[in-house]
Amino acid sequence: MTQPIWITGGKGFIGRNLAQYISKKSQTVRGLGHGFWTEDDFAPWGFKSWLNAEVDFSSLSHLASSFGLPNIIFHLAGGSAVGPSIQNPYEDFQRTVETTARLLEWVRQHAPETRVVGVSSAAVYGAGFTGPISEQAQSTPFSPYGFHKAMLESLFASYRETYGLKLGVARLFSVYGPGLEKQLLWDICQKLEKANDGEVLLHGTGRELRDWLHVNDACDLLWRMATTPELPQVINGGTGQATSIAGIAALVSAAWGGRNNIVFSGIGRKGDPASLVADITRARELGFSPKITTDMGIEEVVRWYRARSR
């Protein structure tokens, strides 16, 4: 059955992939967020409409009056990385925390039966972990990005407990895939392109461990979460597999080809923990099982990058 679905922050990497994933299930998806898009731009991603606007009472009410109330809202609007949050913490706060507060208050007043899935981040966990992290682990973020995602989660918990709203949070780990023009894989590909069988220098030690989740698998998890009979309050989004940054760099280099030599500065960046790997027991209880292995996903990203550079 068709369910009216809204995605805030729909122009972002996860948002547009999620819209495409959901539209293939014959669902009606409407997008809201920053950025001008013509129909020729947004339609291929599966959106039936796109509203270039802030996530506030005016824009949400405009969508409702034009198309009716949604059954599900995926809330992806907000900050997207540690680095920009350190450079502009108040802007990150506005994008993540203020946007979330406005959305939940609008839902409380106008759409209390709507399910809302908020996208958070493994950055809420902070540092000090050496193995898979469960949702019950103590959250000790140490970057503005992590703190603001934790505030998003607190707002979801407050509105769920106080008003009985149908709210859940997905803590996504390292989401990647073709089309992501930032972060580690993009950085490595850019450096390999310039290196021409030379040396490629990356920050950190290379021993940092991350849980790499392909965007297609992330979309599958978000959809399962939103449509399960009992909406989970908090759930990790990952694979449960740890891969070092050096291992990721080696996979990218192998897929790229050539004789590049990847070296690490040995200096970690502030806000980068040594290990962030998900315990995905709860996700598996929803029937979730990652389909795309890391080596398959890395090869896909490299093919996409090289194709777009021609």
Kindly report, residue by residue over 108-118, the tens digit of the pLDDT.
999 999 999 99
CA pair distance 64, 193, nearest whole angstrom? 47
| 146 plus 203 within the same structural domain | no
Span 70-112, pLDDT tens digits = 999 999 999 988 888 889 999 999 999 999 999 999 999 999 9
Note down the domain range covering 162: 4-176+212-240+279-285
Same domain assignment for residues 71 and 109: yes
DSSP state of 179: T
Same domain flag for 201 and 160 = no
Cβ contact 71:27 at 8 Å: no
Same domain, 14 and 138: yes
pLDDT on residue 61: 98
Give how many domains the chain has, as a whole number: 2
Query: Do 15 and 75 fall into the same domain?
Result: yes
Pair (74, 189) in one structural domain? no
Is the pLDDT at 1 greater than 60, yes or no? no
Residue 203: closest CA among 272, 118, 281, 152: 272
DSSP codes, 5-73: EEEETTTSHHHHHHHHHHHTTT-EEEEEESS---HHHHGGGTEEEEEES-SSHHHHHHHHHHH---SEE
Q: Considering the entire predicted model, what is its pTM?
A: 0.95
Give the chain's mean pLDDT: 94
Same structural domain for residues 38 and 98? Answer: yes
Domain CATH code at residue 144: 3.40.50.720
Do 187 and 133 have their domain in common? no
Span 268-307, pLDDT tens digits = 776 578 899 999 999 999 999 999 999 999 999 999 999 9
Strand-pair partners of 193: none
Residues 81 and 194 in one domain: no
Q: Give the per-residue pLDDT at 308.
A: 86
Residue 260 has pLDDT above 70, yes or no: yes
Give the percent of the chain with pLDDT over 90.
Answer: 85
CATH number for position 193: 3.90.25.10
170 and 254 co-located in one domain:
no
Integer Cα distance of 104 and 102 in angstroms: 6
Average pLDDT over residues 257-261: 84
Same domain, 67 and 131: yes
My answer on whether 98 and 35 are in the same domain is yes
CA-CA distances (angstroms) from residue 185 to 164, 170, 177, 231, 273? Answer: 41, 23, 9, 33, 18
In tens, the pLDDT along 154-189 reads 999 999 999 999 999 999 999 999 999 999 999 999
Q: What does the alpha-carbon distance between residue 284 and residue 226 come to, in Å, rounded to a whole number?
A: 15
